[in-house]
Structure 1
Amino acid sequence: MDKNIISRIETTDLEIRPSQEHDFPVLKSWFSNAKDLLLWGGASFRYAASDEEFLRSLHKKGYKALSFYYHSELVGFGQYQLHQGYAHLGRVAIAPKFQGMGLSYYLVTSLVEQAKIESVHSIKQVSLYVYKANKIAFKVYTKVGFEVAVPPKGITAIPACHFMLLTF
């Protein structure tokens, strides 16, 4: 697809739906090296893993997975988990040929809104971890309104990551 066409995508042309098993091999193909996979999924993912192993790593207890489609093409993915009073985002990705077009902002805000709706608006914060080396993602999260914070008691700090919070 021509990047000039892609740059004109309207968010109204995007469809958000619960992720299906057929989405995961496509998602896996977006990571062309071990470093990119680590920055996205963390240490629980092994580069060159089988589709089954990738799927097992992706299924974290309690996480909801959403896929973002432009017509019939998977263009984005993200997960969230609801907790008492807050939600936690993770594993947000945009397909390589759709990167740099502002879709990340839309994807992150859509994940936040979906978590708020599912929680019947009982959440007051959304948290996430982002690797310090992932400067592009950090910039997106900051633009959405997330701020670097100290993890609350009971939440483990990850030395290579920023813990970020969005408070309503």
Structure 2
Amino acid sequence: MQSWFSNETELLTWGGPGLKFDVSSDEFAQQIKLSELASYVLCEGDEVLAFGQFYVRLGRHHFGRLAVSPKHRGKRLAYQLLSLLAQQATNVQTANGYSLFVLSDNKPAIQTYQNCGFEFAAYPQEKPGGLTDCLYMTAETLHIPTR
């Protein structure tokens, strides 16, 4: 998954502030809190197709660090990933509704999230880590498109 990002800007855009680009795979895992946050992958054999994490933020199941492998984008894997994350989140933590941050210029992701029922919402606090160019989206329930 680390190879999906070709420079520090891409890495920070995906993973948030504080990540370093040229680190070992163990350091990368520590940076993204792989062992601390609920983290899931979609795989085909040994190949990772998509990745996402979740935790509770402001009483909602919050999805973070969502990514689809560059060579597998456009195959509707984001919908499968969101469905998996929602199912797992509701099984292991108590929260109401869903939330996520998305960069304002990431039109494909915004469209995907809107297709699942997410809507733009005002973030009720100062955005964490200087996420000024991120939009906050919420959904009370998810509606994963089947086609």
Q: Shorter-chain-normalised TM-score: which range? A: 0.7 to 0.9
| Percent of residue pairs bearing the same amino acid type | 32
Name the CA distance, whole Å, in 2 between partners of 1:112 and 1:131: 21
Q: 1:165 matched to which residue of 2?
A: 138
Q: CA deviation at 1:61?
A: 8.1
Q: Quickly say closer, same or farther: Cα 1:108–1:67, change in 2 above 3 A.
A: same
C-alpha RMSD over aligned residues: 2.2
Deviating above 4 A after TM superposition, structure 1's stretches of 4 or more consecutive aligned residues are 153-157
- 1:63 equivalenced with 2:57 (yes/no): no
Name the CA distance, whole Å, in 1 between partners of 2:116 and 2:41: 19
Gaps of 5+ in 2: 142-147
Q: 1:51 matched to which residue of 2?
A: 25
Name the CA distance, whole Å, in 2 between partners of 1:48 and 1:74: 20
Q: What number of residue pairs does the alignment pair up? A: 140
Q: Quickly say closer, same or farther: Cα 1:42–1:153, change in 2 above 3 A.
A: closer
- Counterpart of 1:88 (choices 48, 58, 62) is 62
Q: Match of 2:2, SS? A: helix
- Counterpart of 2:87 (choices 74, 93, 113) is 113
Mapping of residues 1-168 of structure 1, within 5 Å? 27-59=1-33, 62-82=36-56, 85-119=59-93, 122-153=94-125, 156=128, 158-168=131-141
Name the CA distance, whole Å, in 2 between partners of 1:44 and 1:166: 28
Q: CA deviation at 1:34?
A: 2.5
Q: Match of 2:124, SS? A: coil
- Corresponding letter in the other structure for 1:147: E
Q: 2:145 matched to which residue of 1?
A: none
TM-score for the superposition, normalised by structure 2: 0.82
Q: Match of 1:164, SS? A: strand
Name the CA distance, whole Å, in 2 between partners of 1:115 and 1:135: 25
Gaps of 5+ in 1: 1-26
